[in-house]
Amino acid sequence: MTQFPMEQNGKRLILGSGSAVRSRLLRDAGLTIEVIPADVDEAAIRQALDLSDADMEPGDVAEILARTKAETVSAAHPEALVIGADQILCFEDRIFEKSPDFETARETLLTLRGGTHRLISAVCLAENGDTVWHFVDQAELTVRPMSEAFIGRYLAAAGEQVLSSVGVYQLEGLGSHFFESIRGDYFTVLGLPLLPLLETLRERKVLQS
């Protein structure tokens, strides 16, 4: 495949996330990036947030985590522009985390089947240790009713890579069989609101317009 001549202004771009999906999206869009996952304790940050506070929205959680990742990496690389991102899944006022094992993944899919949940994705840019831009978006996904046997076959076929997805599915692969409908941006579902990020990079003259 011929590489699109996407020219950057020489600004160093770092993705402060170890997500293979996010790095692939950025590189497929023609960006030259480095991947330096942020060394942050996401579980501790989530635990510290007061989700019972009426002013705390699920999107705030995703944004705080994205900012923390970006600012942590940016503090160590102040000359670079660091991309931070995070995604959370909400279903019936419950916020889900990534499944540590297949049994938890199975329980998550059994819970989500037949209902509609939200995926909320946040992305931000940090420079000199501070966030200079952020964006939060959400999509609504309705999961069709599925048998336990189907879920078991899916997990066996998909393998451990599904544990890297908070919803235990990958829309761009076998996970497409799960859904009755999806309302929202495709890239938001994948965990990175790509279009507003690219527009911001053009506005900041990092990319040619």
Q: For residue 151, how many other CB atoms are within 10 A of its CB?
A: 19
Instruction: Please give the residue range of the domain that contains residue 151.
Output: 13-203
Bridge partner residues of 88 (DSSP): 120
CA distance 7 to 95: 39
Averaged pLDDT score across all residues of the chain: 90
Distances (CA, A) of 145 to 27, 98, 150, 167: 35, 22, 10, 15
Contact 68, 126 (CB under 8 A): no
The domain that holds 131 is classified in CATH as: 3.90.950.10
Q: Is there a domain that residue 130 lies in? A: yes
- 65-107 pLDDT, tens digit per residue, is 999 999 999 999 999 999 999 999 999 888 888 889 999 999 9
Strand 179-183 relative to strand 34-35: parallel, antiparallel, unpaired? unpaired
**Domain membership flag for residue 187:** yes
How do beta strands 81-91 and 13-15 pair?
parallel
151 contacts 177 by C-beta, under 8 angstroms: no
Q: Is residue 3 part of a domain?
A: no
Q: With contact defined as beta carbons under 8 Å apart, do 87 and 120 qualify?
A: yes
Domain-located, residue 1: no
Residue 110 domain-assigned?
yes
Q: Which of 141-155, 160-174, 184-198 has the lowest mean pLDDT?
A: 160-174
Residue 7 lies in a domain: no
Return the exposure string of 160-174: e unless at least 16 CB atoms fall within 10 Å of the residue's CB, then b: eebbebbbbbbbeeb
Q: Kindly report the backbone phi and psi dihedral angles of residue 41, in degrees, each rounded to the nearest multiple of 5, phi listed first.
A: -95, 90
Q: Identify the pLDDT of residue 172.
A: 82
| Residue 4 forms part of a structural domain | no
More confident call, 41 vs 168: 168
Active site residues: 86
Predicted TM-score (pTM) of the model is 0.89
- Split into its structural domains, the chain has a count of 1
Query: Residue 198 falls within a domain, yes or no?
Result: yes
181: DSSP letter: E
Given a cut of 50, is residue 198 above it in pLDDT?
Answer: yes
